[in-house]
Amino acid sequence: MTFNPGIDVPDELSRLSLGQDTPPRIRDAPELNNTGTIPVDITEKFKKASSALQPGEIVKDEFFTLFESVGALEIMDPKMDSGCVKPGDEFEELYDVSKPLLPEEVLGIIDQLLCHETVFTSVYVESLMMPDPTHIEEAVFVRRGDTQADAQPMLQVLRAYCLGMLKACAYVNERVKSEHYYEEEDFVTNTYNRTLLGSLSTADIRAELNDAANVVQKQREHLGGEISEALSSRLKLRDIFLSAAECPQFVAQPDLARQPWETALMLLPTIKATHGLSKQVDESFSVKLQRKLASTVPPRPIVKLSFENAFGHLDRLFKDGCELINVLSYTNSQCLQTFLRHFQAKKPQPLVYVRTLLQTFLFDAMEMLGGMSIRMIMDDDLAIVSLPASPYLDRANDDIEVLHDPRFIISQQMEAFRKRAAEPFLDIFRTFCQNRCRVRRTLCHNIERWDQLQADAEQLDLELQARAQEVNLAGQKFSPNTIPVEDDAWSLSMWTYLYKLRQMEWIVQLGFELEVYQPDELAGMYWYLSYLSKTRIEYVPRLRKTLTERVKDLRESPAQNRRNPAVERQMLRTLEWIRLSLLDAVVTWGLSEALASLYTACSRLELLTPPPRPYSNDELRYELRMKPFAKIETPGPISFEQFAAHTSQQGVSTEELLLEASKAMTDAKKACESMSKMTPEESFSVGSHDRWLASIKNTLKSCIATGLAIATVQKAMREDTRGGKLKLTVEVPTPDKTYHEWWIVPKIAPEST
């Protein structure tokens, strides 16, 4: 039977055979005249051809895919091939986990586990995890053969410690994965197909830790007092850390949540003091164990920290965890933000586990700090910044059910605004739980959303003003715990604008801290920072004037017409925040203006020379630095010509420039001194006042250092009679060598003769 093509079948298909009638075609064998593979050295030809390529240019065959690239890697290379076995070596690790251990050796292995970067190189840990135990009795070192070895007292102690350590690792890993983090920057959550004892309960592991502690006490006479104390303290630390990992369940009880962290801190001195008793067992750790991991990456060498460094991390972990609990003592939204900013800015930075635990306290189960709604936090912040005792925030409006009532409409419009503003507002809190580089990068995205939110807020302000007038015309009244609405109030747009300006300042300031800007760019970026802070200075007083007049009217009103004292307290709280905001803006403006002028003067005097840049120019670098602000409508972008003119200040002499810098520095210094005298309530730093005050004092030191640098240049210019280059040396320090990471004050000194 043959295939007959139909009408709609193409000719190409009709000519295809089904192989039923036509016998297969037999091809003749090819003639082999090849002399064999002849290798040719193409090294010189390849070098000559590649030399013709321009920098950044690449030649790639489209058929040479990633699969071929990986396949081209040389096998039997120990750096790339995990299965590579050296001559005379064994493929498997032959260490015997059942052999007896001395108490000093157990202590040494425990301390080595603390010093190793990963647990996947310990033979003892591997024997507990694989095969994955389903109940606590299976989690032993020896599962077949001489199972009596597990009954050795020292192996019981080591087993209990390893169980507690693995469970703690599981807690940490799950906590990090459940929150917002960046794996490529912060933490590697991959366990390579290891479950970290996920099938075992914490109660069973704690029971094993308790039994091991009892074993140590029974062996105390045999072990000696110091060794017994060393082993007991380490077992107890493992049990305490499990309690600390479970502290989020006490989010409503800060004292209970803080207790395990404080207890652990009291144990650490004993652990540090007894480290000298340990004896390391290096053969119990092997890189060969990585061959059993479900991993596609090349084998990694064992990374081992010194005990001092590892203990420093452990000490910092518990100190940060103890301090972290302070976030649960809520005062107001501004105090909460102050705590987050200064806690995250610590040096060294809090570990990623502490920062994810902070996120849990802030955002767990759609509640903030365990019992506060997002609306409560937002309304509190709005009341502090721009809406003190405002009828817009009055919850009595929610009880009105008449659809055409303007108070009902106000309630609905405010709820719509909260939904619109909730995400960018909460992202400020979430952002300050990330690492410093990620904070700046995230803020660059956030300000665009705040810019859009400001446009919506301006339209909503107009609608709310109209509704408030309708309430007055209809003879209706708001709650007596509120104050009348101003006809030209722009409260919501003011709130969004101030937050946007502050975040723009943080982006620039973090650029100094993270060394984003080169030394010859500091003058321009400090000028732009002064421009942003000056905008904030010009904007805030409008709100202060209105509130001051209202507080005066409220105090002068007859006693029978006075409102609830809470109204006056809210207005005074807003005035305190405005004063703090103005002083902060004055410090930022004055110090950045002084540093911008100082760096400009140094450039004019050829004390600072830019490095050669064959592939860039000033305008391209300006576009790069201003990229985060390019889409912001208010304040609008500044052209490169304006930026260059303001930075260079060609119409101002160097002497006048330094004089203006000295005046600006003096203003910043006075504002710093005023801020340093504020109480925690006045500075909105309840719960973090010590860190806030330290930051202010460091800024004050930066002001003094700036003044000394300016005076040094002025003195050298007065003494210079020849008109040549000043005999001064200028060193631009790195942020870690300054008083404050945001203020890069140059070190200027006379040349040594």
- What lies within 8 Å, CB to CB, of 365 at 6+ separation is none
Cis peptide before 299 (omega within 30 of 0): no
User: Is the distance from CB of 192 to CB of 130 less than 8 angstroms?
Assistant: no
Containing 731, the helix (H) or strand (E) segment is strand 728-731
* Selected residue with higher pLDDT from 545 and 113: 113
- pLDDT at position 33: 63
Find the mean pLDDT for residues 55-62.
Answer: 76
Burial class (CB in 10 A: 0-12, 13-18, 19+), 303: exposed
Q: Specify the range with the lowest mean pLDDT, choosing from 46-55, 208-217, 279-288.
A: 46-55
Tell me the mean pLDDT in the region 506-517.
Answer: 96
d(CA 403, CA 389) in angstroms, rounded, equals 24
Q: With cut-offs at 50, 70 and 90, classify the pLDDT of residue 314.
A: very high
Q: Residue 606 corresponds to which amino acid?
A: E
With bands split at pLDDT 50, 70 and 90, how would you rate the model's confidence at 208?
very high
Is residue 365 predicted with pLDDT exceeding 80? no
Written as one letter, the residue type at 712 is: T
| pLDDT average, residue stretch 45-62 | 81
Position 76 confidence tier, pLDDT thresholds 50, 70, 90: low
pLDDT of residue 55: 76
* Confidence at residue 119, expressed as pLDDT on a 0 to 100 scale: 81
pLDDT at 299 over 90: no
- Residues with Cβ < 8 Å from 156, sequence gap 6 or more? 150, 211, 212, 215
Structure-token pair, residue 84: 């590579």
What distances in angstroms separate CA 743 from CA 273, 316, 419, 604, one per listed residue? 40, 26, 37, 21
Measure the CA angle with vertex 734, ends 731 and 736; round to 5°.
Answer: 135
CA 727, CA 724: separation in Å to the nearest integer? 9
Residue 158 has pLDDT above 50, yes or no: yes
- DSSP code of 366? G
pLDDT band at 145 (very low <50, low <70, confident <90, very high): low
Residue 73 has pLDDT above 70, yes or no: no
pLDDT digits (tens, 9 = 90+) for 406-415: 999 999 999 9
Mean pLDDT of 685-703: 96
Q: What is the pLDDT of residue 442?
A: 95
57-66, 93-102, 711-720: least confidently modelled range: 57-66
Reading phi first (left if > 0) and then psi (alpha if -120 to 50, else beta), residue 363 is in: alpha
364 falls in which pLDDT band (50, 70, 90)? confident
Cβ–Cβ under 8 Å, residues 245 and 354: no
Q: What is the mean pLDDT of the chain?
A: 88
> Token digits for 711?
């005076």
Decide if pLDDT at 522 tops 60: yes
Query: How confident is the model at residue 65, as a pLDDT?
Result: 77
Confidence of residue 260 (pLDDT cuts 50, 70, 90): very high
pLDDT digits (tens, 9 = 90+) for 601-651: 999 999 998 888 888 899 999 999 999 999 999 898 899 999 999 999 998
What is the 8-class DSSP label of residue 364? G
More confident residue, 717 or 566: 717
534-543, 648-657, 677-686, 701-710: which has the minimum mean pLDDT?
A: 534-543
Let me know: does 181 contact 442? Beta carbons within 8 Å: no
**Is the model's pLDDT at 707 over the cut of 80?**
yes
Task: Inform me whether the pLDDT recorded for 8 exceeds 70.
Answer: no
Inter-residue contact 538 to 356 (CB < 8 Å): no
Higher pLDDT, 350 or 150: 350
Check whether 6 has a pLDDT greater than 70. no
Percent of the chain exceeding pLDDT 70 equals 90
Q: How confident is the model at residue 14 (pLDDT cuts 50, 70, 90)?
A: very low
Mean pLDDT of 52-56: 79
Q: What is the pLDDT of residue 324?
A: 94
The span from the CA of 367 to the CA of 358, in Å, is 13
- Statement: residue 155 has pLDDT above 90: yes
